[in-house]
Structure 1
Amino acid sequence: MFKHLFKLIWNKKKQNFLLMSEMLFSFLVLFAVFTLLVYYYNNYKKPMGFEYKNVWVVNYNNAYKATNTDSLTQFYETLRQNLKALPDVKEISFCSDNVPFSQNTWQGSVNYKGNPVGGVNQYTVEDSYKNTMTAELLEGRWFNKGDVAAKNRPIIISSDLKEKLFGNERAVGKLVGDGDQPGHDKNAMKIIGVIQGVKAKGDYAPAGYAVYHRTDTGSFHSLGKIMVQVTPGATAAFEARLYKTLANYMKDSNVEIEHLTSKRKDINYFTLVPMIVLLIVGGFLVINVALGLFGVLWYNINKRRGEIGLRRAVGATGNSVSSQLITESMILATLSLILGTFFAIQFPLLNVFDLPASIYIVAIFCSIGFIYVLVFLCSLYPGKQAAAIYPAVALHEE
Structure 2
Amino acid sequence: MFKQILKQLWAQRRSNSWILLELIVVTAAIWWVIDPLYVIRCNQTIPQGFDCTDVYRITLGELPKKSPAYKAEESDSVNALANFNRIIDKIKQYPRVEASVVIRYYYPFSDSNRSSSYHNKSIEANACNMGYYSAGDYFQVFRYTSAADHSWQSLAKIKINAKDVFITKDFEKKMFGNKSALGKKLTDGDSTSVYTVVGVLDYVKLISSEQPQPIIISPEMKMNQTSSINEVKIFIRMKKGTAEKPFLEAFKKQMFSDLSIGNYYLSEINSYNKIKTDYEYSRGITNILRIKTGLCIFFLVNILLGVVGTFWLKCRARRDEIGLRMALGSTRKELHKFFITEGWLLTTLAFIIGIIINLQFVYLNGFYQSEQNNEAGIPWVNNAFLHFTAVSIIVYVLLLVTVLLATWLPVSAACKVSPVDVLRDE
Question: Which TM bucket (shorter chain)?
Answer: 0.7 to 0.9
Counterpart contact for 1:56–1:227, Cα < 8 Å: yes
The CA deviation at 1:380 is 1.1
Per the alignment, in what secondary structure is the counterpart of residue 147 of structure 1? coil
Query: 2:275: which partner in 1?
Result: 263
Query: 1:212: which partner in 2?
Result: 217
Say if 2:194 is the partner of 1:188.
yes
Per the alignment, in what secondary structure is the counterpart of residue 334 of structure 1? helix
Query: 1:294: which partner in 2?
Result: 308
Counterpart contact for 2:56–2:237, Cα < 8 Å: yes
Distance (Å, rounded) in 1 between the aligned partners of 2:256 and 2:200: 34
Counterpart contact for 1:24–1:336, Cα < 8 Å: no
The CA deviation at 1:79 is 1.0
Distance (Å, rounded) in 2 between the aligned partners of 1:198 and 1:242: 33
Deviations 1:256-295 (A, max 9, x none): 3322232234456775544443443344344434443333
Q: TM-score, normalised by structure 2?
A: 0.72
Distance (Å, rounded) in 2 between the aligned partners of 1:219 and 1:197: 33
- Structure 1 residues 122 and 61, CA, compared in 2 at 3 Å: closer, same or farther? farther
The amino acid across from 2:179 in the alignment is E
Counterpart contact for 1:27–1:337, Cα < 8 Å: no
Query: 2:116: which partner in 1?
Result: 108
The CA deviation at 1:367 is 3.0
Query: 2:411: which partner in 1?
Result: 383
Q: Choose the corresponding residue for 1:130, options 139, 146, 168.
A: 139
Q: Choose the corresponding residue for 1:79, options 84, 109, 126.
A: 84
Say if 2:221 is the partner of 1:239.
no
Query: 1:374: which partner in 2?
Result: 402
Distance (Å, rounded) in 2 between the aligned partners of 1:189 and 1:213: 9
Distance (Å, rounded) in 2 between the aligned partners of 1:296 and 1:146: 69
Per the alignment, in what secondary structure is the counterpart of residue 424 of structure 2? helix
The aligned runs of 1:25-64 (5 Å cut-off) are 25-40=29-44, 42-43=45-46, 46=47, 48-58=49-59, 60=61
The amino acid across from 2:235 in the alignment is V
Distance (Å, rounded) in 2 between the aligned partners of 1:341 and 1:303: 30
Distance (Å, rounded) in 1 between the aligned partners of 2:256 and 2:105: 19
Distance (Å, rounded) in 2 between the aligned partners of 1:158 and 1:222: 29
The amino acid across from 1:58 in the alignment is T
Distance (Å, rounded) in 1 between the aligned partners of 2:219 and 2:363: 39
User: Unmatched 5+ residue regions in structure 1?
Assistant: 65-70
- Structure 1 residues 371 and 312, CA, compared in 2 at 3 Å: closer, same or farther? same
Percent sequence identity is 18
Alignment RMSD: 3.9
**Runs of 4+ that moved beyond 6 A:** 61-64, 143-146
The amino acid across from 1:228 in the alignment is F
Q: TM-score, normalised by structure 1?
A: 0.77
The aligned runs of 1:321-340 (5 Å cut-off) are 321-340=335-354
Q: Choose the corresponding residue for 2:235, options 217, 221, 228.
A: 228
Deviations 1:57-108 (A, max 9, x none): 32557989xxxxxx74773354123321343155443323333233422222
- Structure 1 residues 307 and 85, CA, compared in 2 at 3 Å: closer, same or farther? closer
Query: 2:384: which partner in 1?
Result: none
Per the alignment, in what secondary structure is the counterpart of residue 397 of structure 2? helix
- Structure 1 residues 347 and 387, CA, compared in 2 at 3 Å: closer, same or farther? same
The CA deviation at 1:211 is 0.5
Say if 2:108 is the partner of 1:95.
no
Per the alignment, in what secondary structure is the counterpart of residue 161 of structure 2? helix
Per the alignment, in what secondary structure is the counterpart of residue 129 of structure 2? strand
The amino acid across from 2:318 in the alignment is R
